[in-house]
Every structure is written in C-alpha cells, then in structure tokens.
Chains A and B, each alone.
Chain A
Amino acid sequence: QSALTQPRSVSGSPGQSVTISCTGTSSDVGVYDYVSWYQQHPGTAPKLMIYDVTKRPSGVPDRFSGSKSGNTASLTISGLQVEDEADYYCCSYAGNYNWVFGGGTKLTVL
C-alpha cells in the first residue's frame, strides 16, 4: 500500500491555528474511521494525539482536533504553542490487517 500524503511542512505563529491534511484513498482513509495522528519531537518516540478520526486520549489538550472528509483526514491545532513544534504523522487502517502512515509534516511555530 502507498503512504498517505501529507504536506512536508506547515507553520504558524503562537496563538494561531494550523491544519495538517492527510490524503489517502477509498481503500484506507475513505472507507475506515480508524485514522490516528502522532506527534514526534526530535529524538523521541511518537505520541498518540488523535485516534478514530476525532477522539483525544486523556492528557492531550483540546487544542488538538481531528476530522475527515472523503479520502482526506485533517489535524487542526488551535492556539498554537511553542511546544507544538514537532513532526506529525497520520495513520490509517488499510484493510486486511494492514496499516499505512503518512510521510509526516514538520510544524514550525514561528
């Protein structure tokens, strides 16, 4: 299966909102509501931020939200903070017990 498509980079100023897109196909994002998002700071393991398209694990600020329309999922971060600067990866179930990740998006907080 092919990787999901994410923008290589996005940026925003503190307090602003940014949205990161994740485009898949009708075989993954478009058909399953099992899209998750991970935040990764340099040299550390990924951290789950959103699962099942819109759900937030306990401890994740409500500034992080997820959505999906058709074959594209999105992660929105509102009220940007400096500590949000990181790489973000989307992931989707692709059927037949397979998972596919996006290529990752580097978020810069200016």
Chain B
Amino acid sequence: EAGVAQSPRYKIIEKRQSVAFWCNPISGHATLYWYQQILGQGPKLLIQFQNNGVVDDSQLPKDRFSAERLKGVDSTLKIQPAKLEDSAVYLCASRQSRDRAGEQFFGPGTRLTVL
C-alpha cells in the first residue's frame, strides 16, 4: 500500500513570494491533515479536512494561508505572501476514519525555507 505522498520535498523562496505544497493521501482515507513543524517544536495542526469539507482550521493564518481538497482526494496548501517565520516542515497526514483512536499516517513533509 502506497503511503502519503508530498511534493516538493524542499522549497526555498524569498519573503513575500508565494508557494504551494501538494499532498496525495492514502487511497480511501477520508480525513486529511496539514501540520506545520517549526524546527525544535512538535507538529501543529493547521487544517483538517473530512472528505472535501473543512473540519478544523482554527489555527490556520487565513490572511496568508489557504488550503483546498477538491474532490476529497488530493490537497494543496498555499502560502501567499510568505514570511520569514513560515520557514518550517509542512506535514500532510491522512486517516481512514473519523475515529480519534485511529492512526494518522504521515507523509515525508515539505521543508520550506523563506529567505
């Protein structure tokens, strides 16, 4: 079974530029998460989708971050314009069910450096 795929793996941009990350979850997984992991910290949830609907985006900086999950499969996370403090690893995870005991499967992440 293929895991969670993310691209690109690395991205370097100048501040005020825009950037987009892509995630393809495990086939059949209805729940999809985007996390931000700043160096030296644990992952922090940005947004959670259930199929193509948003369940929780309370910690998403909506003035610059946006995310979508069209057709309830792939997802894209965008930052526009980027700030220096957005430098982090962006992790995508998916889960088969809404059961909170269910395992979340993580992708390898996209490492963003904002100069």
> Bound pair: A and B?
no
